[in-house]
Amino acid sequence: MPVSVFAITLKLERAIWLTYWQIMKNKSTKTIALLLTELTRNNNCRIFAELKKEATKQKVNLITFEGRTLQSKSYADKQRNFAYQLINKARVDHIITTSAAVPDSLTSKQFDNFFNGKTEQLIINYYLKRPKQHSIRVNNSTGSAQLVEHLVNHHKYEKFIVIRGPVRDANANQRFATTISSLEKYNITPVELQATWDSQASIQVIKNIIKDYPDYQAVIFPNDETAIAALDYINNFKPEFKGRFAIVGFDNSENAKNISPQLTTVDHPHAAMAQKALELINTQPSEYVDAIFNTTAVFRGSCGCHGHIEDTCPTQRLFTGNYNIEENIQALSHDEYFEKLSIALSERDILSCSICLYQSEPFKLEATTEVPQVSKLAFQYYNGTRQTEYENQAFDTALILPDDVYQQKQPQCLLVKNLFYNDAHFGYVVFDLCQGRIQDIEDLIVNISTTLNIIYLFEKMQSALKENERLVASLAKDNTNLKAISATDEMTELLNRRGFYQAICQRIENTELTEFSLIYADMDKLKYVNDTFGHQAGDLAIEKMANVLKSVFRATDIICRIGGDEFVICAFIADENIVQQMTQRVNSELAKLTDLEFKISMSFGIYLCKLSEDFDLENAIKQADKKLYQQKQLKKHGLIL
Ligand SMILES: Nc1nc2c(ncn2[C@@H]2O[C@H](COP(=O)(O)OP(=O)(O)OP(=O)(O)O)[C@@H](O)[C@H]2O)c(=O)[nH]1
């Protein structure tokens, strides 16, 4: 092996080993994938916040994949759930699922099918137990019992309505059953109404309560989401019912403190749960752990208590005009948009943002659609600066981010959101949420998907316009060519009959011409040449004649091959003698030709045209042809040469 090739091979091997070593080094920081339905909703915010705190403390990466309920039949939900497809073992070591994202209605087989190969190790289920997996659950009954005890003993309520959550959800059923049995202890039989976990169903329920049970005292909702929606409905649409019912929830979500009155609810010990999750990840026990945490009631204003006003979310920040996303981040080119986006990200204290676009064209989701293999890092922002040096690199989508970008900071707290507009899926965005407000992400993702889609369509439209212009120009050129072709005799490149008529009419119209000569010319004895020397020799003779005509007559004269061996020349000379001399010159030039096996000559008929109102070109040509015929006759009878 030559020394230089050997050196290059060594260099390449070194590069591969270095990359491998880097990935392994990087792998030593464990990564947890967290599957969540909307991060800003309900209980998710708190699950995320505590896991983030714990992961940071223990130097573990946390990547949150935001989707909807995995089994949802709705197309909109399925579109969101495409984010879960990005989970894979190249980046992820462990998975934490939540019951909202991966519900208990998912069979073990369906679960295995979905998660098979996405990670090699530990899976922890939040809020539900699955065979051969760890779980972190809450004991709903402790908090429920405290809540009921407070409503009955402290507030002396007697008439209760209990709202049931989704019928097939184990957590909802447990909450419902423990509330009913707690009330039974006080000999209270409540009215039972059906809802789901969602605010839409809850609004219908509160409308029914206002209509059918206006004298009831306490309404126990299955979760905070539904309780908050009911309070919000009363605040906005039925203020006369404000404070008429005690309304309580379950989950102690972030919004429980943001609604008025603040919500009495049941708290999950999220900090302890997150600590347990990280402990399981660190110790990886061989036995499957089912950790259950007691819930406790939290009393605020919505049950009728007073003096429990708490601060609202401490990260809540008021926007000023400068923060208005719609007005400030609009652009029709990637570069301009990414510059504006960088400013918006730094104003919002978001640590990093990577926009990854699939290399393939945008696609509509089908049941079997898989994540495209190759992506391009279209935009990279980190800690206040756009990092153009990382942009435009193609990478394996399984890595979620190119390795050099992924390694910028460890541990990290990433959020992966699917990027699509209407039906068209075209990539995903990865934010680092170590700092900044998660609420801002919602605005940003809408802005990113809309703007990128507009830019995509705009660029497509521009290239279609360019293509159109190119086609129009090429059509115009073809048209000119076609016109020339349709007016030209292919063999001699002289004008053909059509070209001749066009040219002569144009000349008559555009000049103050009064007289000119029309010459009808015909080759002598072409038939004989054809018969004796072959048709090709005849063709060659015609071409030679055309060339001689071109050389003898002036460029301004109009020469045409009117058919076969016949030519018509329009010479702008009114003196017949001069024209005669020119035709003689044609024959003397033809006689000089030495590259033919035979001699050729032409006969001519000359007709002097005088232009007047009733000038008839057809007739003039006929007259010239007649003169030609006379000359042919004279030649035949040997009267002239
Ligand atoms: N090689 C060749 N022959 C052609 C072409 N067009 C017509 N001809 C033939 O040329 C001959 C022309 O006939 P005429 O002009 O009547 O006869 P000629 O032999 O030239 O006799 P005169 O004009 O009386 O001298 C015919 O046999 C046609 O078939 C052509 O493009 N190439």
| Tokens encoding 410 | 């460890």
Distance from C-alpha of 372 to C-alpha of 357, rounded to nearest angstrom: 10
Cβ of 601 less than 6 Å from ligand 1: no
- The mean pLDDT of 583-604, rounded to a whole number, is 93
CA geometry: angle 572, 578, 579, nearest 5 deg: 60
Weakest-pLDDT range from 16-20, 118-122, 508-512, 585-589: 16-20
Q: Which atom of ligand 1 is nearest to the CA of 527?
A: 19
First to last CA, the chain: 86
Q: Residue 469 domain-assigned? A: no
- The mean pLDDT of 158-174, rounded to a whole number, is 92
Do 65 and 96 lie in one domain? The reply is yes
pLDDT, tens digit, 9 for 90 and up, residues 193-206: 999 988 899 999 99
Q: Residue 78 domain-assigned? A: yes
Residue type, 391: E
| 378: enclosing H helix or E strand | strand 374-382
Q: What's the confidence (pLDDT) of residue 20? A: 46
- The answer to whether 316 and 328 have CB atoms below 8 angstroms apart is no
Write out the residue range of the structural domain in which residue 623 sits.
Answer: 497-636
Alpha-carbon distances of 244 from 99, 162, 241, 461, rounded to whole Å: 33, 16, 5, 58
Do 568 and 549 lie in one domain? The reply is yes
Do 263 and 154 lie in one domain? The reply is yes
- The answer to whether 252 and 224 have CB atoms below 8 angstroms apart is yes
pLDDT band of residue 326 (cuts 50, 70, 90) is low
Residue 433 pLDDT greater than 50, yes or no = yes
Alpha helices in 82-129 (DSSP H): 108-115
Distance from C-alpha of 75 to C-alpha of 227, rounded to nearest angstrom: 27
Q: Which atom of ligand 1 is nearest to the CA of 522?
A: 23
Residue 118 pLDDT greater than 90, yes or no = no
pLDDT band of residue 316 (cuts 50, 70, 90) is very low
Residue 93 pLDDT greater than 90, yes or no = yes
Distance from C-alpha of 332 to C-alpha of 335, rounded to nearest angstrom: 9
CA of 523 to the centre of ligand 1 (A): 8
Could you give the maximum distance between any two Cα atoms of the chain, in Å? 145
φ, ψ dihedrals at 625, nearest 5°: -60, -40
pLDDT band of residue 3 (cuts 50, 70, 90) is very low
Cβ of 528 less than 6 Å from ligand 1: yes
What contacts 341, CB < 8 A, 6 or more positions away? 329, 353, 379, 381, 444, 447, 448
Cβ of 534 less than 6 Å from ligand 1: no
Residue 1 pLDDT greater than 50, yes or no = no
Is the preceding omega at residue 261 within 30 degrees of 0, hence cis? yes
- The mean pLDDT of 390-419, rounded to a whole number, is 94
Do 167 and 129 lie in one domain? The reply is no
Do 272 and 142 lie in one domain? The reply is yes
pLDDT, tens digit, 9 for 90 and up, residues 67-83: 999 988 899 999 999 99
Cβ of 530 less than 6 Å from ligand 1: yes
Q: Which atom of ligand 1 is nearest to the CA of 538?
A: 1
Q: What's the confidence (pLDDT) of residue 312? A: 57
Report the chain's mean pLDDT, rounded to a whole number.
90
DSSP state of 301: G
Q: What's the confidence (pLDDT) of residue 531? A: 95
Q: Residue 237 domain-assigned? A: yes
Name the residue among 350, 338, 344 with its Cα closest to residue 319.
Answer: 344
Distance from C-alpha of 372 to C-alpha of 491, rounded to nearest angstrom: 58
Do 156 and 293 lie in one domain? The reply is yes
Strand partners of residue 407:
none
Q: What's the confidence (pLDDT) of residue 623? A: 95
User: Which residue has the least CA distance to atom 13 on ligand 1?
Assistant: 527
User: Which residue has the least CA distance to atom 29 on ligand 1?
Assistant: 527
- The answer to whether 293 and 272 have CB atoms below 8 angstroms apart is yes
pLDDT, tens digit, 9 for 90 and up, residues 274-291: 999 999 999 999 999 999
Q: Residue 475 domain-assigned? A: no
CA of 130 to the centre of ligand 1 (A): 99
- The mean pLDDT of 565-574, rounded to a whole number, is 94
User: Which residue has the least CA distance to atom 16 on ligand 1?
Assistant: 527
CA of 534 to the centre of ligand 1 (A): 12
Among residues 426, 452, 478, the one where a domain terminates is 452
Percentage above 70 pLDDT, the chain: 92
Which CATH number does the domain housing residue 607 bear? Answer: 3.30.70.270
Residue 315 pLDDT greater than 70, yes or no = no
Distance from C-alpha of 518 to C-alpha of 604, rounded to nearest angstrom: 10
Pocket test for ligand 1, best of 565, 598, 603 (most atoms within 8 A of CB): 565
Q: What's the confidence (pLDDT) of residue 539? A: 95
DSSP state of 164: E
Which CATH number does the domain housing residue 296 bear? Answer: 3.40.50.2300
Q: Residue 316 domain-assigned? A: no
Q: What's the confidence (pLDDT) of residue 105? A: 86
- The mean pLDDT of 167-184, rounded to a whole number, is 92
pLDDT, tens digit, 9 for 90 and up, residues 445-462: 999 999 999 999 999 999
- The mean pLDDT of 40-69, rounded to a whole number, is 92
Q: Residue 485 domain-assigned? A: no
Q: What's the confidence (pLDDT) of residue 309? A: 64
Q: What is the per-residue DSSP string for 336-370?
A: HHHHHHHHHHHHTT--EEEEEEESSPPB---TT--
Do 45 and 104 lie in one domain? The reply is yes
User: Which residue has the least CA distance to atom 1 on ligand 1?
Assistant: 538
Which residue did the predictor score with more confidence, 355 or 19? 355
Residue 9 pLDDT greater than 80, yes or no = no
pLDDT, tens digit, 9 for 90 and up, residues 206-261: 999 999 999 999 999 999 999 999 999 999 999 999 999 999 999 998 889 889 99
- The answer to whether 348 and 442 have CB atoms below 8 angstroms apart is no
| E strand map for 551-624 | 558-563, 566-571, 602-610
Q: What's the confidence (pLDDT) of residue 641? A: 63
CA of 563 to the centre of ligand 1 (A): 10
| Tokens encoding 153 | 């003993």
Residue 379 pLDDT greater than 90, yes or no = yes
Name the residue among 269, 207, 254, 197 with its Cα closest to residue 227.
Answer: 197
What is the number of helices (H) and of strands (E) in the chain?
18, 22
Distance from C-alpha of 521 to C-alpha of 629, rounded to nearest angstrom: 10
Supply the ipTM of this predicted assembly: 0.94
- The mean pLDDT of 428-456, rounded to a whole number, is 92
Do 130 and 166 lie in one domain? The reply is no
Among residues 452, 467, 488, the one where a domain terminates is 452
Residue 318 pLDDT greater than 70, yes or no = no
Do 379 and 413 lie in one domain? The reply is yes
| Tokens encoding 297 | 């009631």
Residue type, 188: I
Per-position b or e across 553-591, b if 16+ CB within 10 A of its CB:
beeebbbbbbeebbbbbbbebeeeeebeebbeebbebbe
Residue 613 pLDDT greater than 90, yes or no = no
| Tokens encoding 459 | 């660029």
Among residues 452, 483, 508, the one where a domain terminates is 452
pLDDT band of residue 612 (cuts 50, 70, 90) is confident
Do 286 and 145 lie in one domain? The reply is yes
Q: What's the confidence (pLDDT) of residue 614? A: 84
**Between the CA atoms of 463, 464, 466 and 467, what dihedral angle is there, to the nearest 10 degrees?**
120
Name the residue among 397, 415, 348 with its Cα closest to residue 55.
Answer: 415
Q: What's the confidence (pLDDT) of residue 135? A: 96
CA of 565 to the centre of ligand 1 (A): 6
- The mean pLDDT of 563-577, rounded to a whole number, is 93
Q: Residue 89 domain-assigned? A: yes
pLDDT, tens digit, 9 for 90 and up, residues 506-554: 888 887 888 999 999 999 999 999 999 999 999 999 999 999 999 999 9
pLDDT, tens digit, 9 for 90 and up, residues 126-152: 999 998 899 999 999 999 999 999 999
Q: Which residue has the tokens 């006689």?
A: 591
Do 204 and 276 lie in one domain? The reply is yes
Do 170 and 183 lie in one domain? The reply is yes
Residue 2 pLDDT greater than 50, yes or no = no
How many domains would you assign to the chain? 3
CA of 334 to the centre of ligand 1 (A): 70
Distance from C-alpha of 602 to C-alpha of 545, rounded to nearest angstrom: 8
Cβ of 632 less than 6 Å from ligand 1: yes
Q: Residue 198 domain-assigned? A: yes
Neighbours of 7 (CB within 10 A): 11
Residue type, 2: P
Neighbours of 484 (CB within 10 A): 10
| 297: enclosing H helix or E strand | strand 296-298
pLDDT, tens digit, 9 for 90 and up, residues 19-49: 544 554 455 689 999 999 988 877 898 999 9
Cβ of 539 less than 6 Å from ligand 1: yes
Q: Residue 24, Cα to own-chain centre: how many angstroms?
A: 33
φ, ψ dihedrals at 206, nearest 5°: -70, -30
